[in-house]
Chains A and B, each alone.
Chain A
Amino acid sequence: MTRKLLLDKVNVEGIAGYDVYRKNGGYRSVEKALKTMSPDEVVEEVKKSGLRGRGGAGFPTGMKWSFLAKPEGVPRHLLCNADESEPGTFKDRYLMEKIPHLLIEGMIVSSFALGANQSYIYIRGEYMYVLRILEKAIAEAYANGWLGKNILGTGFDLDLSVTPGAGAYICGEETALIESLEGKRGNPRIKPPFPAVKGLWQRPTVVNNVETIAAVVPIVNDGGEEYAKIGIGRSTGTKLISAGGNINKPGVYEIEMNITVEEFIYSDTYCGGIKNGKRLKACVPGGSSVPILPHYLVCKTAAGEDRLMTYESLADGGFATGSMLGSGGFIVYDEDQCIVRNTWNFTRFYHHESCGQCSPCREGTGWMEKVLHRLEYGHGKMEDINLLWDIQRKIEGNTICPLGDAAAWPVAAAIRHFREEFEWHVNEPKACMERNYGLVTEKTFETATA
């Protein structure tokens, strides 16, 4: 049975409320950290835990924290990124809706570690009903002395509030989030300066994902070393995976980072296999922006080893034959799904969400959308496939923020692994409107790159 650190009490009746949460061991980490540890000791435990950012990039949290500038007399801020918008990802919403005090507890301990006295949770505007759940929980935390002045008599002050976005995927990028929190358009900033030096209101700022901050609670309670015992290699601890697509049991699962992808997809503990007895065609393991894997690279790596639900194993083979754990937005496709249509759909998403600052992204995403649309609707030409490849290459790495990369990678991976399906759309313009291509044939890896 998998150990759960975040969702272990999620099904306890009334756990969203303060009293039940507290009775079940809630806010212990605040008592421990504020009364028995120094801020640096908390940072040290997080470093020892090996915790990596759960929003998608996987950057070591302890290291990110240690970069925070601490100039005398300048306030610092901790911002929680609850802008969850990566298609396929719905884990943070689940956590905040079901066990909101866990996030608040994590915010208190993390703010203490960073010396932040005013922290914010930035939540996507569509989650307004979750914002109200969080505001209720924050009010309870204030009423019970966990927030405000002189918490637990330790002299540590913290004000925490939650503030919404208004429908912009780009605000999940940390500098765009900061801009948005300042009441502006969500245009990412040029880095450096990094938020750790100049973030919110030009003050030193740390931005962490909801799940990352929640994970600080068990790390402080049980110690970083204990946390690091779970998982494999540099993939320590547990990860929330939100599973969707053509599976029997979609939902949010907390996994130890040591199980195989095969177990995750086929075991009844998790996804419960492909719906309607269909065959697996492809999988996007970490949110729409990570490379799609064809069926033969989902459960095994190119080297024939079992693929694991870890940062390293999902990335095994690089972009040629691997993908990324990303945000944990796990999307499964059965044999009836059309890869060209899916790629067009994702590209339309990125076109819609591009902030428009950088021309490669602003123009490139729209151009790719048009080309993919004509391929999908049987009006494509063979050279369109190479054109797409060319456009995505010119977006990747040429933009201020990673949205450009995020838009380029799904297109590149689709062409890399499913070129024959794209060609079929050109060669069979009528058939492609009537039926789906089915499974692609397995490729050897020397020829797998386009």
Chain B
Amino acid sequence: MVKEHDNLDPRGEQTLALRLRVWRQSRGAVGHFEDHALAAVPTSASFLEMMDMLNEQLIKEGKDTFAFDHDCREGICGMCSMTINGMPHGPLPGVTTCQLHMRNFRDGEMITVEPWRAKAFPVIKDLAVNRSAFDKVIQAGGFITVRTGSAPEANNTLIPKSVADEAMDAAECIGCGACVASCKNGSAMLFVGAKINHLNILPQGQPERERRTLAMVKTMDDAGFGNCTNYGECQAHCPKSITLDVIAKLNRDYLRARVKEFFSSTGKPRKGGD
């Protein structure tokens, strides 16, 4: 995507002149696109730094800035969330919006910037959305119950390296929601599958395995997320390259939990809760 550029700033750095079409929406109101021109964007700037430049330009004109979510700007906190030219986190695979740099765009290009588009992620303002549904899914079961102070000696549990590595692959999820935003169904199954895979394959996660799976899936459904129909867009846009097999394993664990629930049911309410 990197192209030769004619524009150079005084320090000899290549710059771009851009046309930007950015989503503008107040809380509770209907949104619309706004067009802006932005000159002299260094190719070394990150996409969010380009948005900072646009906002500074708007302040100079006395206009309101575009609100967008961002924090660590090093690809790990999961807060940044822009749909760029129709693609969550933009055109580069395996990176968050904050790690996307302007050298991946062309001089004179028109760039469309939108928020995550998903029923379960309502827009708060402009490019910022409410992703608290993800937190609710974790609160329902995305944990191992262990009270502070009650943990056994760490090396008492042997965990094969391959299992620890597999858990880590899934645990890398940053909870940004690009999977949901890229899915036609607005499905959160890559996110939920990643957490289920992380905890359900570790020995520490076994006692709550079925309970966790059922509770997380139920909360996911209640929050308005859609179902997976194997488009695979989530995998293509995941900045941490989490793969579809976590969804397959989520389905397997869900089935297993439902079957176990069915056969262990006596029809009577259980003593001591579930």
- A and B: interacting chains: no
Write the residues of chain B forming the contact surface with A, with a CB cutoff of 8 angstroms.
Answer: none
Binding site for B on A (CB under 8 A): none
